Amino acid sequence: MKILVTGGLGYIGSHTVVELSNNGFECVVVDNLMNSDSSVLDRIQKLSADPIHFMKRDLLDKHQVAEVFELFHFDAVIHFAGLKSPAESVVNPLRYFEENLGTTINLLNEMQRNNVKKLVFSSSATVYGDLTEPPVYEKALTSILNPYGRTKLMIEEILQDLSKSDPEWSIAILRFFNPIGAHSSGTIGERPNGVPNNLMPYITQVASGRRQFLNIYGDDYPTPDGTGVRDFIHVMDLAHGHLKALNYLSNHSGNHIFNLGTGKGYSVLDLVRTFEEVNGVKIPYKIVDRRPGDIAVSYAAPSKAERELGWKAERGLNEMCEDAWRWEKDLVKPSKSF
C-alpha cells in the first residue's frame, strides 16, 4: 500500500513513517520543513526497510498539492501536518485557522478528485477540554480551550460532514493524549524550535544542561501530589496505532474516532522522578504559578481502540524516559548535531 504522510518529518510523523515502512507500507512524505529539518529524512531512511519518497511541498498551495497527487497514486493518507502550539494560537488565531484548515481543505479536495478516500487524521485529546472527569471516552462532550484546539475540532466536524456526503470515505480520527519518548535507537525524536512548551522536551533539556531548571506549573491541583496528571504515551506506541488504523480502514467505511492513550495518569512529579531514577540524572525544578489554560487531570479510556483496532499501548513510563534521554544525549553530541 502506498501512503501519503503529510508532516512526515515532524515528531510523530517521522516515527510513524519508520513503523509503516518496516511493516510493508510504501511512504511518500510531504513536509514544508516549517517545523522540521530535512536531515530527519536521512535518519528515517536509516531506520526504514524501504526507500522513503520525499517532496518539500506546501499544502496551502493547491497547485503543489495537485502535483503530489499527479506523481503518485495513493491508497490512503495520514495527515499530521499542522501548527500545534496552543499558546501561539491564542496570540495568532488567524494563522492557525488559515494554516490548519486551509491545508486540510486543499488536501481533502485533491483526495476526492483522485478518488483517494481513506484518511487517518491526527486530532488531539485537547478537544475534550475540561468538561469531563477522566477516564475520557470518545463519546464525551467536547469543549475548546484555545484556537489550536478549535482547529482540531473543526477539522473533525468537516470530516464528519464529508463522510456523510459520500459513503465511500473511510476516516479514522485519532485523538492523541500526551506523546513522549523517542525511537529506541536514539536516531529520531522530538526536536522543538526554541524554548519547549511541552513537559518532556523541557525535562530532557534540563538534564543535558541546556536549561537550568524545570518550571512546574502549579502544585495545588486536586491531584495526589498537587501537580497536573496526564496520559503520557510512547511515541512508538502511537506510531503503531496509525498502522492499526490503516488496516482498520481497509474494511470499514464512515467516520471513526479513537482515543490513543494508555489509560493511566501520571503526575508531572511522577514523570520527573521516574526520569531521574531510570537515567541517573538530577532534574532541578521550581514550583511556579499554574499555566493559564491547563487542566488538572487528563487520561484516556482507550478501550475502543483496543476492541476495534486491536491496539494497546505497550511501553511504560520507564521506557519513555529512557528513550527520551537517549535521543537528547544523541542530539547534544557535537558530531551528531543537525
**Min separation Cβ 11 and ligand UD1, Å:** 9
Q: Are 249 and 172 in contact (CB under 8 A)?
A: yes
The helices-and-strands tally (H runs, E runs) of the chain is: 12, 13
Q: Are 29 and 53 in contact (CB under 8 A)?
A: yes
Binding mask 12-51 for ligand UD1 (x = CB under 6 A): ----------------------------------------
**Min separation Cβ 228 and ligand UD1, Å:** 2
The reply on whether position 178 binds ligand UD1 by CB under 6 A is yes
**Min separation Cβ 5 and ligand UD1, Å:** 19
What is the spatial distance between Cα 319 and Cα 278, in angstroms, rounded to a whole number? 9
With CA atoms as reference, report the closest residue to 120 among 79, 153, 179, 84: 79
What is the spatial distance between Cα 305 and Cα 245, in angstroms, rounded to a whole number? 9
Among 173, 199, 317, 320, binds ligand UD1 (CB under 6 A): 199
Among 2, 62, 291, 329, binds ligand UD1 (CB under 6 A): 291
The reply on whether position 294 binds ligand UD1 by CB under 6 A is yes
Between the alpha carbon of residue 302 and those of residues 120, 135, 265, 310, the distances in Å are 17, 9, 12, 11
**Min separation Cβ 260 and ligand UD1, Å:** 12
Among 2, 66, 217, 308, binds ligand UD1 (CB under 6 A): 217
The reply on whether position 187 binds ligand UD1 by CB under 6 A is no
With CA atoms as reference, report the closest residue to 14 among 60, 57, 45: 45
Identify whether 96 is a catalytic site residue: no
**Min separation Cβ 288 and ligand UD1, Å:** 8
Stretch binding ligand UD1 (CB under 6 A), from 35-43, 100-108, 197-205, 326-334: 197-205
The neighbouring-strand residues paired with 288 are 217
Beta carbons within 8 Å of 60's beta carbon, 6+ residues apart: 98, 99, 102, 103, 106
What is the spatial distance between Cα 175 and Cα 186, in angstroms, rounded to a whole number? 26
Q: Are 99 and 85 in contact (CB under 8 A)?
A: no
Cell numbers for 94, please give them: 488567524
Stretch binding ligand UD1 (CB under 6 A), from 63-71, 98-106, 246-254, 288-296: 288-296
Among 48, 112, 198, 247, binds ligand UD1 (CB under 6 A): 198
Among 7, 10, 86, 134, binds ligand UD1 (CB under 6 A): 86
Given the residues 148, 221, 248, 299, select the one marked as catalytic: 148
| Residues contributing to the site for ligand UD1 (CB under 6 A) | 86, 124, 126, 149, 178, 197-199, 202, 214-217, 228, 230, 268, 291, 293-294
For the annotated catalytic residues, the residue numbers are: 148
